[in-house]
Structure 1
């Protein structure tokens, strides 16, 4: 999988393309530096999945839960502020990551050892022209 987002006008079509390629996979880990576009892309995907609530990075909450078009939960994690893996154990990560519901994870490198084996790992990077490339790295 490789998706290019040339500008904001191509963001929603890129999100639809991503959804078309999700298949039955549910856990998606987004790797990329600060400002790479992880949250922006996850917002676009959530919009395409029918989320009507405000989608924001759960930097301080660690996890946000949204409802998709079908009423199913969508979980959005941001592990940027995790200092110890025990913090993830404390909120019962298994209940979310192994629920069978869609999970989007920002800053997964901080919790890689607890990610499910079938996690789809994706890289988001900015090109010299300012576009973003999203590609599967697993």
Structure 2
């Protein structure tokens, strides 16, 4: 075996012995599971809000660029951003600006599922009221 392979095997064994038990304990923690499930459920909102922001925010100002293909692309992008800005700005606001509220609601839902509560709407109402 090569020296690198021996070193990698030692590192791998150390990780399995020392870090894996701690990682397993953390993975079984109910609050971390609820956070994980909440953020997994929010990934589509992050994605939609991010694409809306990318569309309404051209990365370069076309007025300061030399003429060429890139200037034409940025000019077209600026026109699209001006046309779709109000609608996509609303999409961005609903998704990204309210992410703390969505996280609070998602955490309440996931914890109520974990505790097998029948009336999860109560936890959602308390979460929103506390927010």
Q: TM-score range by the shorter chain?
A: under 0.3
Larger radius of gyration: 2
- Indicate the structure with greater helix content: 2
Output the TM-score relative to the length of structure 1: 0.22
Output the TM-score relative to the length of structure 2: 0.23
